[in-house]
Amino acid sequence: MTSDLYVSAMAEPTDTGKSCAEIDRRRAARRDSIPIGVAIVVAVGALAVTDPKDPGDTVIWAVPMLALLVLGLRAELRDLRRADEYERTLLLEALALGFVVVIVLLFLGNLFASRGVGDPRMWLNVSFIGGLLGWRAIKALKTRRG
């Protein structure tokens, strides 16, 4: 049986590179992020030039926002599909924990709103942003290079 010292001496020096699967996945993720970047610019532009009180402008700001949502969802699903089994487990764990954050914040928000503390819409935004940030933070923590 090979000794641990021998094994670590042999294994350490060349263990910093990326595999082809990783390089392909990162390249594909970068490709998927280009339309998202364009959609963000268009959505921000649409929000800036439209009047929120004018019902006629609703389509102009809503369509880019919807496109942004669909493109983001598409990118996440494609990333999940491209991931190998271990990475997929980590991504799904992060999604599940992010979902827990949303549920907890929604519960607290509803509780506070029912007692007249804060605006329900504000609590909805807090839940959404909190869940999103929680999910991204957990994902970053779990998938950091090990």
- The residues of the shown chain that bind another protein, judged by CB under 8 A, are 1-2, 6-7, 10-11, 14-15, 17-22, 25, 84-87, 89, 143, 145-146
DSSP-derived secondary structure for 87-136: HHHHHHHHHHHHHHHHHHHHHHHHHHHHTT-S-HHHHHHHHHHHHHHHHH
Residue 81 or 115 with smaller CB distance to another protein: 81
Closest separation in Å from C-beta 23 to another protein:
10
User: Other C-beta atoms within 10 Å of 123: how many?
Assistant: 21
Residue 7 or 70 with smaller CB distance to another protein: 7
**Residue 136, amino acid:** R
Closest separation in Å from C-beta 17 to another protein:
4
Closest separation in Å from C-beta 72 to another protein:
23
Closest by CA position to 78, among listed 67, 88, 66, 68: 88
Residue 60 or 95 with smaller CB distance to another protein: 95
